[in-house]
Structure 1
Amino acid sequence: MDTAADPRPGDEDFDGFRMRLPEDCVEYMLFIIGDKTSSSIPSLETVRKAADQKLDELAKDYIWQREPFKLETKVQKGLGLPYLHGTTHYGDNVEDEWLVVYILRELTRSFPNLWVRISDSDGEFLLIEAAKVTPKWLSPENDTNRVWIHDGKLLIIPLSSAPGSQSTPPATASKPLSLPEAINTLRTSPPTSLIHSPLIEAEAFYRLEKYPSQITASLHYARVTIPRKLAYILHARPKSVAPATEAFYTRDPRALKPLLAPTPPSSSSSPLTFPPTDLVTISVRFTKVLYAQLKSQHFPPPPVWLSLFRSAEAAAAATGSGQENADPHAEAEAGKELAASNSA
């Protein structure tokens, strides 16, 4: 429980980023640290534009589960410098989170003065990936704000009593590190004073080995039979398949009310946006997780669709997939992808 003595937003020592993130959400902060008088120091806007360009190069057609990678400039009182900040809610698709890590790691290789901190609702998830090889003195009680990505490397701010060492320090030195303290350490200490363990780095970045090819490998194509108007929307805005699938996957009875009327709504009420008429079959691009979400659902046909489901088009309309894509095991693989994402 908060007390009157606890720092609050606006207080100089308030560290907002120590607050717990929502589930399935990743947060990232990008800092430019160096001599401001140097002409080689990039601006935050330069880094932001480079990040947008990198995103366009790597994942222009990528379908984000809930929120895309994005950056905005922020200023936090007591921190002493502005920075770039972003959060991405990745939902069931943990690959979104690792794509963010990959983009940010690649970005640090382009800017020698760029330092990136990234965490999620579980905390320092990069250290969680490397849990088997992290030093004993590094624990969830003291690892906050100690893990940074710089020049493509994973660096760890050591405890004050053990700079550059992985030996076990006294318990009195094992304390959380605030974000202002971490920034001050990066400003005043050379990168060589930080811990760079190739073993920890390899474990933490293990999932990045399959990138950038994983970006394409995560996609799934299926032929769907849908109303022509909806087909036009998916053609014009192919990424809209993600919120549409999420809305269906997380639906409640109220959302289905317009579909469950025994007859089509009368002219005095709101008509169905996409009535089951003028159907066309098209190829739709999903991610494997989105497709698995659809395939995992048992959805009896609403009354207004019953006549269609008695026709030869029933199979295609039932899941929106009359034919699978080129992979004959697509459905099984999609199911494994969803299960893996949920367990990650």
Structure 2
Amino acid sequence: MERVSMSFVEYKIFPTQPSQDCLTLMAECLKVCQPFLHKYIWHMEPFRLKPVQEEHLYGKVYVGDNVEDEWFIISLLKYLSYQLPDSIVIRVLDEDGEILLIEAADHLPSWAQEPDLAEKRVYLYQGQVHLIPISDRPSSLTPLPSGVPREGDAVKTIVAFSHITRASPEVQECIDRRLGSYPRDWSSELHYCHLVVPKVIAHVLRESPQLISPAIQKLHDLDPQDSRMIQKMERFPQGPEKDLVTVGMGIPRCLYAMLSGSKIFPYKKSDWTLPGAEDAQFKAKYHGFKVAAGLEVMTSTQRNISHRSANDPAFDKFLKALNSLDYFQGLLPGSKEYEQFKGKARDFYRQDHPCDEIELENTPLYSTLFTHALATFDPSTPMKPEDVALKPADSDNWLDINPNVLDDLLAQRFLSKSRNDGTNISDLEHFLQESSDMKGVEGSRLTQGTKTNEGGISFDSNLFESALDKVLGMNLDSTDHSDSDDSESEREHDANEDDMRAYFEALEDQLKESNVTSDDLDLSVMKNLLSSLENQEGFQGPTNTLINSMLKESS
């Protein structure tokens, strides 16, 4: 899978004491993070760490299309710096640079908004964001590093002068708001759905829900050999209808959108069939087939990778460090629970494989989970109570985003109070329908609940009247005509103008005989313009093009 252009998050964990052993530090990090790691469903790759030249721990995770993985990892790192307050200082980056500064850009000092000046100056320490300031003048005597500091010097500065480097409360609040309930709770990012699948797949998903990620990813990275596997579905046939089970599970929204967007269907060569689209279980069976197809491809591409932890003195040292930290919670060596904890530690230790050299499903975590799930399947095992009484599936209407919903999402994301500075088309239509007197419009919603400035509304009546005249076609007395040497064209122009003048004179005579006034026409035209503008739903269209051209010609 090509990862060169994919989004990623990169991080370094620096020990505050140079003598601190990196493998022991890695063991401490695993113990702190493990409660959040064992159930989280990664979009692509899992959280990883590895020692680098006994100087620091390093990790790089490709997050693909799901930026929430990036912020979940940032929340883990922030939590680590809080739980190990005097032991570590952390730097985190993504493909755009200093991600923490980018997120808090509206609350930074002016100098920190320059990427070159802020490079290697933002870190996590003791659960907070730290920003190493620069001196006001180059000649100032200060213990703070100048230019682009070395990471080791930056770490020492933060530890020694944390009261100076701690970022402002506004920056802290901005980052905390973006992290939300991470890493303790990420349920808001899950979409609960039903999947109708064979029992073996139900067992795989029940034992290792993280495998839903590589299964869905494979659907978007199919080659001709993968397609031939899906045509036959030999490893995961559908089987008799009575042997199918309905599984309910929460899938990250980004993955669910990918699953819904995949358009593969069963081939005649396989025994998989789907009901009609009107069937109540069509979506559950269709999604179940696609997950089965992804797992089918995984079985063909999965291969054994070297177990670097076997007979590895460094891994033995890592296990000893975990044991001293009570990672195994007093479990007896050799017991089932002990081996499960040891397996998780082994997978975490082995995650430093170059992620762009192996397929996603062959990363240590997914490879181990898939192998174990298939090996432990027992078709005689009865269904669990939670698989019998399923709660209703979530609505997936959020997949269909209209412009109004998008505006609301942007408003929530960027803390905008309302669209168009609090004034929208419906308010303007209401304004046109209000009664007025010498003091202005009474009871207008445009002024209710808002505080107007002392200068009132700035309104160019001549410009507005000129624009309306052009819409109404009443600007017929203008003498601003371009000269032409072609007398025939002038005569045609005069004739057309005479025809238009005669047409409007006849129209005016008809209006005099009716109860329709010029004000009624103006109001009707304005309402039609507003209605057309609203129907464009914020997109470019003929109405705003017409209005813009009128305003330009009138100015």
What TM-score comes out, normalization by structure 2 length? 0.46
Give the structure 2 partner of residue 97 of structure 1. Answer: 70
Tell me the distance in 2 between the aligned counterparts of 1:315 and 1:120: 36
2:248 aligned with 1:283: yes
Amino acid at match of 2:245: V
The change in CA–CA distance for 1:307 and 1:246 in structure 2 (over 3 A counts) is closer
Q: State the secondary structure of the residue aligned to 2:64.
A: coil
The question of whether the paired residues in 1 share the 8 Å contact of 2:11 and 2:93 is answered with yes
2:230 aligned with 1:259: yes
Q: State the secondary structure of the residue aligned to 1:303.
A: coil
Equivalent residue in structure 1 for 2:273, among 289, 305, 308: 308
Q: Percent identity?
A: 27
Tell me the distance in 1 between the aligned counterparts of 2:270 and 2:246: 16
Give the structure 2 partner of residue 156 of structure 1. Answer: 131
Give the structure 1 partner of residue 151 of structure 2. Answer: 179
CA deviation map 1:40-90 (0-9, x unaligned): xx6434432332223222343111111111222112xxxxx6111112222
Q: Please identify the structure whose Cα radius of gyration is greater.
A: 2
Query: 26-35 or 50-59, which moves further after superposition?
Result: 50-59
> When you count strand as a share of all residues, which structure comes out higher?
1
Q: State the secondary structure of the residue aligned to 1:299.
A: coil
Give the structure 2 partner of residue 25 of structure 1. Answer: 8
Q: State the secondary structure of the residue aligned to 2:111.
A: coil
Give the structure 1 partner of residue 397 of structure 2. Answer: 332
Q: Pairwise CA RMSD of aligned residues?
A: 3.5
CA deviation map 1:187-233 (0-9, x unaligned): 7x522342521112222332123334542332333221123332332
The question of whether the paired residues in 1 share the 8 Å contact of 2:216 and 2:258 is answered with yes
Tell me the distance in 1 between the aligned counterparts of 2:34 and 2:13: 19
The question of whether the paired residues in 2 share the 8 Å contact of 1:54 and 1:103 is answered with no
Give the structure 2 partner of residue 132 of structure 1. Answer: 106
Tell me the distance in 2 between the aligned counterparts of 1:329 and 1:178: 50
How many pairs were matched up? 290
Tell me the distance in 1 between the aligned counterparts of 2:149 and 2:397: 45
Amino acid at match of 1:108: S
Give the structure 1 partner of residue 459 of structure 2. Answer: none
Amino acid at match of 2:108: T
Equivalent residue in structure 1 for 2:50, among 72, 75, 78: 72
Tell me the distance in 2 between the aligned counterparts of 1:44 and 1:27: 18
Amino acid at match of 1:182: A
Tell me the distance in 2 between the aligned counterparts of 1:89 and 1:35: 29
CA deviation map 1:280-315 (0-9, x unaligned): 322234222222211123334433358722576654
Give the structure 1 partner of residue 38 of structure 2. Answer: 60
2:71 aligned with 1:109: no
Give the structure 2 partner of residue 319 of structure 1. Answer: 287
Tell me the distance in 1 between the aligned counterparts of 2:224 and 2:27: 43
Give the structure 1 partner of residue 295 of structure 2. Answer: none
Give the structure 1 partner of residue 171 of structure 2. Answer: 200
Give the structure 2 partner of residue 296 of structure 1. Answer: 261
Give the structure 1 partner of residue 58 of structure 2. Answer: 85
The question of whether the paired residues in 2 share the 8 Å contact of 1:63 and 1:239 is answered with yes
Q: State the secondary structure of the residue aligned to 2:12.
A: strand
Q: How far has the Cα of 1:109 moved from its partner?
A: 1.7
Give the structure 2 partner of residue 230 of structure 1. Answer: 201
What TM-score comes out, normalization by structure 1 length? 0.71
Structure 1 residue ranges without an equivalent (≥5):
1-20, 37-41, 76-80, 166-172, 265-270
Q: State the secondary structure of the residue aligned to 1:132.
A: helix
Tell me the distance in 2 between the aligned counterparts of 1:233 and 1:218: 22
Give the structure 1 partner of residue 377 of structure 2. Answer: none
Q: Answer 1 or 2: higher relative contact order, Cα 8 Å, separation at least 6.
A: 1
Tell me the distance in 2 between the aligned counterparts of 1:294 and 1:99: 22
Tell me the distance in 1 between the aligned counterparts of 2:82 and 2:137: 28
Q: State the secondary structure of the residue aligned to 2:192.
A: strand
The change in CA–CA distance for 1:95 and 1:151 in structure 2 (over 3 A counts) is same
2:120 aligned with 1:120: no
The change in CA–CA distance for 1:53 and 1:228 in structure 2 (over 3 A counts) is same
> When you count helix as a share of all residues, which structure comes out higher?
2
